[in-house]
Amino acid sequence: MKLSRRATTATALAVLALGGTFAATTPASAATTQTTTKAAPTATYNGACGTGYTVIDSTPVGNSGKVFLTWNQSTGKNCAVTVRNAVGRQINMEVTLDALGDSDEPSVDSGTYTSYAGPVYVNGRGSCVAWSGTIGNASASDSGHCS
């Protein structure tokens, strides 16, 4: 015998009113299927620049990771590191950091890595910096931080 929701509720209340106990169950027809979608991991700063460095900007490198730009107030240095979303097989990666307007060459780390390239440093006090990163075939660059 199949009872309506109203009849089931009334029956449960009657059982409880008489001092009995009632175990609620969900009918099989009401079962739901839960689907969980795992979000793709996103790169987070890994602390590679060292103590005293604070992330001041980041630039996505396609869907593969990010380039993080950091600053150390006490030393006056900027640092950059390119970080993959997830550790994987070795692929070509690069990070470049350039203090604009100075005569020094940009600081570059390039190679085949499993998780990150860098860190690279430049004296940033009184300079604007540009940074870029590559992960596999994806590249990105940015500029605009001046100290």
- Reduced to 3 states (helix: H, G, I; strand: E, B; else coil), residue 31 is coil
The domain spans of the chain are 54-146
Distance CA 139, CA 66 (A): 10
Cβ atoms of residues 117 and 111 within 8 Å: yes
The CATH fold of domain 54-146: Immunoglobulin-like (2.60.40)
Q: Which of 112-116, 117-121, 141-145 has the lowest mean pLDDT?
A: 141-145
The mean predicted confidence, pLDDT, of the chain is: 82
Residue 135 pLDDT level (bands cut at 50, 70, 90): very high
How high is the pLDDT of residue 102? 78
pLDDT over threshold 60, residue 58: yes
Residues 98-102, mean pLDDT to the nearest whole number = 89
Query: What's the distance, CA 46 to chain centroid?
Result: 11
Q: What is the pTM of this model?
A: 0.73
